[in-house]
A and B are shown apart, each in its own frame.
Chain A
Amino acid sequence: MEKITVIYLDDQREVLATIGKDLAFFENLLNLEECETVDEAEQLMENLYSKGHYVALVISDHIMPGKNGVEFLSEINRDDRFEKTKKVLLTGLATHEDTITAINNANIQRYIEKPWKSEELVQLTRELITSYILENGIDYEPFMEVLDQNTLYHYLHQQS
């Protein structure tokens, strides 16, 4: 089975713990990684890429010491190694301008405002993971349990 990773990034440990609890549902089939800094996340992504693992989804906070979330996600967006990686901004403190940059430059798939609902995070993770798996031609059957059925139906219907 292919190794598929979800990375979540926040400078506050409590937030990471909450996200971790929300995403626990995926832990049997996906590799969940938490990072406290952008540097750590960049290192990890390099590392995973060189091992041939897939980085399917990055969920990032915005306001952090050093590089902020929108800058980080924009960099991922420009990096052809992570062209298909799904990006989510999770923040309570993004300005109007940050939000525009996040959509136009970072090409984020979703924007979640803090505080968020657990089901909301689970559902969007399902949807984005499913799209990622299908778009990359990864054998989807082993991941059936965590896939979003509607996304799957739509994709399979389009196949001859």
Chain B
Amino acid sequence: MKNIKLWVGILLPLIILAIPVESFGIEGLTVIEKRVIALFVFAAMFWILEPIPVYATSVLIIVLELIMVSDKGLILFRDADAANLGELISYKSIFSTFASPIILLFMGGFFLAMAATKYRLDQNLARIMLKPFGQNPKMVMMGLMIITALFSMFMSNTATTAMMLSILAPVLTYFPANDRGKIGFVLAIPVAANIGGIGTPIGTPPNAIALKYLTGEHYVSFGKWMSFGLPYAIVMLIIGWILLNVMYKTETPTIKLDIKGSFIKSTKANIVYATFVLTILLWLTDFIHGMNSYIVAMIPVGVFTATKIINKDDLKKISWDVLWLVSGGIALGLAMEQSGLALHLIESIPFENMSAILIIGLAATLTMVMANFMSNTATANLLMPIIAALGTTVESLLNIGGLTTVVIATAIAASMGMALPISTPPNALAHGTGLINTGQMARIGVIIAIIGLSLSFVVVYILKLTDF
């Protein structure tokens, strides 16, 4: 099975490479553009079928681009068919996708999350934040969902889910065996983590990929993203909470969650607390100090390494796989844009005759459906370059906000793929508890996705009205 997937992923792009440029039926298609089509098909096949890990596919995209379409690539690829070779891409710009500001923004987020976990800031915050919710199961579930969503805005959705399930799991064993309330509690965590990720640019990788396409006049700051991401997440959380309470009523009268510990009071811990607060404040006040989100993200990196709060050993724990997965997506987008392929493709399809609503609706639905079956990040990697190109060129879209509208709608849709255990790591963890089945997960996942997509259209419409 794995071998079949591998061969499909390799042969299909090779066939595309072998077809003469003229047979594609796209006027003015260059040889480089054809190679980028082959690369795109390679990426799509490998990310969807996953014969190798998704981050490895990303690395291969970069390596293949360097060899096949860069200005310092294999000489054979540079000299051949000079007449309509097309534009070679600078190797430096391909390399720089590894250190794109987006990647470093995410790395800054990793540093914050790592330091917070290391000094138990997350556990201690969860402890004091849960207190006001008392012991009424409904309120406790709300507390858990709020904390999960809030943390997943700054930590990875997976780490947040793991932490919250470890808090929740011991309590669930006290529930009567036939109490369906358990199901609601277990589902509440991944639902809240997936929704929470939408709240900030660093909440989940698809947001970062969206930011990559929102540059220049379309630049969206950290605070600006939160100004729509946060209200959206709050409304979705409330809807999720109501649904779970209606679908899985608990008979247990009280529930008591126990988190041990107290805030660490060492100098290093205090530096962690202060840096955390300062970084978030700076992210929200760029209009005063002028530093953009990418630059602010480097402050925790500097502070934590200088103070050895993040030491040599911790550095090795950075999720390079996540960073490189995004880099590969950026590299794919770069090749499609710089070779001219993105525009070429869109010009050859009669999008002009389609209504803007239809285009956005299709883009968001396709993204959501794909994200259910494959990595959310890989979905955004594949679709965002094309959708962003649509946003800049299609006339009808410009009337409803153009680039910003479609890109944000797509990013939100990528986080809405959460109907199956394989959809996201938080879902897999919740399913791993053995307390819920796939059907139960799918029911809430599909309802949330439908409401979530509809609400995202409302959000982008409001953004247009307020001239975002």
A residues whose Cβ falls under 8 Å from a Cβ of B: 139, 141, 144, 147, 149-150, 152-160
Contacts and interface: CB of A to CB of B under 8 A. Distances in A.
Contacts of A144: 428, 431-432
Interface string B86-113: 0000000000000000000000001101
A157 B166 contact: yes
A153 B53 CA distance: 22
A143 to B, nearest CB: 10
Interface of B: 53, 110-111, 113-114, 117, 155-156, 158-159, 161-163, 165-166, 169, 317-319, 425, 428-429, 431-433
A155 B159 CA distance: 9
A159 B433 contact: no
A154 B156 contact: no
Interface of B (DSSP majority class): helix
| 4 tightest Cβ-Cβ pairs between the two chains A and B | A156-B162, A160-B110, A153-B166, A153-B162
A147 B432 contact: yes
Contacts of B428: 141, 144
Contacts, number: 54
Contacts of B162: 152-157
A153 B425 CA distance: 12
A139 B319 contact: no
Contacts of B431: 144
B165 A149 contact: yes
Given A144-B428, A159-B158, A160-B317, A153 B163 contact: yes
A66 B95 CA distance: 60
A68 to B, nearest CB: 37
Nearest to A144: B432
9 contacts: A144-B431, A149-B433, A150-B166, A152-B429, A153-B166, A156-B162, A157-B162, A159-B156, A159-B317
Contacts of A155: 162
Given A139-B53, A149-B169, A152-B162, A157 B432 contact: no
A147 B165 CA distance: 15
Given A141-B428, A147-B432, A159-B156, A153 B169 contact: yes
B154 to A, nearest CB: 11
Contacts of B318: 160
Interface centre among A149, A159, A160 (most CB of B within 10 A): A160
A153 B317 contact: no
B166 A160 contact: no
B3 to A, nearest CB: 14
Nearest to A145: B432
B429 A156 contact: yes
A152 B429 CA distance: 9
Nearest to A147: B432
B432 A149 contact: yes
A144 to B, nearest CB: 5
A158 B117 CA distance: 6
A71 to B, nearest CB: 34
Contacts of B432: 144, 147, 149, 152
A156 to B, nearest CB: 4
A149 B170 CA distance: 11
A159 B432 CA distance: 18
B166 A159 contact: no
Given A144-B428, A152-B162, A152-B429, A157 B169 contact: no
